[in-house]
Chain A
Amino acid sequence: MALNPDYAGRVYPPAGPFPVTREEIAAFADAVGSTVAAHRDPEAARALGYADVVAPPTFAVRIAQQCEAQLVTDPGAGIDFARVVHGDESFVHHRPVVAGDVLTGVLHVDRMREAGGHGMVTTRVELSDADGAPVTTVTSTIVVRGES
């Protein structure tokens, strides 16, 4: 199965809304072994000036990957999920994600190509809040390992 290069340049309709809860933030912080109180303790977060607990720097991947699923699970795109490994990832935080946020994400397929027998897919998810203000830009490259 080969990647479909025609998907490059695609922009998907907004996905979501994704409400962000304290429980999700705490579970993510626990799973990455975080030591930071502001991910779990609303008082600690308020002491830093936030309305509620604040997400870890990579938490937005939870929402971004749900947006990326629109592409990854599309049979027409030609991505074999079991052969996918992660190439790179970046987050630009326009503001931190806080419990109580309701986010939507717009998926952009920035690049889709074959290289050295592997597929390389670069996506960008622009997350925004309920007011439409930008929250986080999540850029991800996945490698679909070839069947060598």
Chain B
Amino acid sequence: MSATTDPAALTRTVTVDRARLVAYADASGDQNPIHQDAEVARSVGLEDVIAHGMWTMGAALDAVTAYAGGDPGRVLSCATRFTGMVVVPEGETVEVQVEGAVKKVDEEAGTETVELTVTCGGQKVLGRCQAVVRV
């Protein structure tokens, strides 16, 4: 497999609903009820059930793995801040937009730094979401 990088892979729309949050809770082990139970979410001052920040990061980072020719081992590091919440009402499918761009090229190290802009309903939900990719 060649080390191709396709910038088109960095733009995508991902969707999330309550069933996906249950699947993510099971797959990640994060069973915090604020991601599944609206009553609990509201009791701690949230608008409704929210997606795990790590679900959003994981969904966004898949675009980087795809960019790195589908080779997960070429994603050397990644980091983000959780700046907004993805609210997931019962019975709805919520869209999250992912757009990425190469911010830095380090020819000596053979790496690129990719920055992702991740929004939901026009609001940024991840901040400084970056990954270093081996090219």
Residues of A in contact with B (beta carbons under 8 Å apart): 24, 27-39, 44, 47-48, 50, 54-59, 61-62, 65-66, 81-93, 95-96, 139, 145
Contact = CB atoms under 8 A, between A and B. Distances in A.
B-side interface size class: 35 or more
Given A31-B55, A58-B58, A88 B65 contact: no
A38 B34 contact: no
A66 B29 contact: yes
Contacts of B29: 62, 65-66
Interface string B1-45: 100000000000011000010011011111011100000100111
Residue among A27, A32, A61, A145 with most chain B CB within 10 A: A32
Contact of B28 (A37, A61, A91): A61
A55 B32 CA distance: 23
Contact of A33 (B14, B26, B44, B77): B14
Nearest to A82: B44
Contacts, number: 133
Nearest to B57: A58
A37 B70 CA distance: 7
Residue among B27, B85, B131 with most chain A CB within 10 A: B27
Given A65-B28, A87-B81, A87-B82, A82 B62 contact: no
Contacts of B55: 31-32
Given A48-B73, A50-B73, A82 B32 contact: yes
A88 B82 contact: yes
B34 to A, nearest CB: 7
Contact of B27 (A31, A57, A81, A90): A31
